[in-house]
Amino acid sequence: MFCSHCKQDAIIYLPYSKTHLCEKHFKEMFDKRFRATIREFGMIKKGERIAIGVSGGKDSCVLLYSLAKLREVLPFEIVAITINEGIEGYRNKTLEFAKQECEKLGIEHHTFSYKKEVGMTLDEIMKKKGTEEIPCSYCGVMRRRLLNNAARDLNADKLALGHNLDDIAQTVFMNIMRNEPLRLARLNEPLVEDDKFVPRIRPLMRAPEKEIAIYALVNGIEIDFQECPYAKHAFRAHIREQLNETEEKYPGTKFKIVNSFFAIEKALRKGLQGEEKFEMKYCKQCKEPSANDVCVFCGMVEQLQAI
């Protein structure tokens, strides 16, 4: 099969736009979409300092590569952050990938660990809690806190995350199916602003997961396909499968879900903020913004220390 734009062999077929693309035209399309997303949401301004959460997986490595490349036309600073949860046999390997990619691109890289910041590794937490617990609920809270604080300590203007189109479409669906309008409303930005929150950007949110993997491959970005041994997202896995099936039958569905979200986001946020139940407090212990007297993070750490 030939590329729809030239006489070269195609390396990928995109059913949603009915196009076959060669390597050169695929890269061009991917880069163009990446930059258009950044422009559309005003994600990065000239001279800003952007922190990137780099786990070492394909999404964050492609994000790092693409942002580094973007600096050729838009000058800004990049600093990479990796959170080491302390997962024996897994994170130490992806950490190496993250380091290696940063070195290749000449990007400043910092690692923050659960051990140092929380006092225990995820392995230790799971030993305490037993296997019945859902590890991801700890990581959701802890990684978010560590990333935000790291970005803030490093004087970053924004924190860039590697969430892709599939991730966002899944999250939109999950929040609707679980009747969590608040979570849906703050999917892309928090409902309450605070100087202590570093604004988050997701420049890959219009990039399908499959295309990110191919983009990594054709650009020589080494990727590790190993998954976190604790990953236990039963519901997300179900939604993911359903969405992939629907996408196959009705190409473009994932884009449409994410676009629908952005179409209703403003009205949803306005409606919820009008209810005025967002009184911002500060945690008694860590002084971070919190909905309650003690924040979820401190509550979690306290509970773990008591075991």
CB nearer Zn ion, residue 3 or residue 50: 3
Binding site residues, Zn ion, CB under 5 A: 3, 5-6, 8, 22, 25, 283, 285-286, 295, 298
Smallest separation (angstroms) from Zn ion to the CB of 85: 19
Structure tokens at 291: 């909905």
Smallest separation (angstroms) from Zn ion to the CB of 15: 17
- What angle, rounded to 10 degrees, do the helices at 253-273 and 165-177 form? 50
How far apart are alpha carbons 296 and 26 in whole angstroms? 43
CB nearer Zn ion, residue 3 or residue 98: 3
Smallest separation (angstroms) from Zn ion to the CB of 295: 3
CB nearer Zn ion, residue 38 or residue 142: 142
Structure tokens at 67: 């942002």
How far apart are alpha carbons 239 and 172 in whole angstroms? 10
Which of these, 147, 125, 120, lies nearest to 137 by C-alpha position?
125
CB nearer Zn ion, residue 204 or residue 295: 295
Smallest separation (angstroms) from Zn ion to the CB of 24: 5
CB nearer Zn ion, residue 52 or residue 295: 295
Smallest separation (angstroms) from Zn ion to the CB of 196: 11
Strand-pairing partners, residue 83, are: 112
Structure tokens at 177: 């199916």
Smallest separation (angstroms) from Zn ion to the CB of 218: 13
Chain mean position to CA 255: 17
How far apart are alpha carbons 138 and 125 in whole angstroms? 9
CB nearer Zn ion, residue 125 or residue 174: 125
Please say whether the dihedral angle defined by the alpha carbons of residues 124, 129, 130 and 134, taken in this order, is positive or negative. Answer: negative
- Greatest extent of the chain over all pairs of C-alpha atoms, in Å: 66
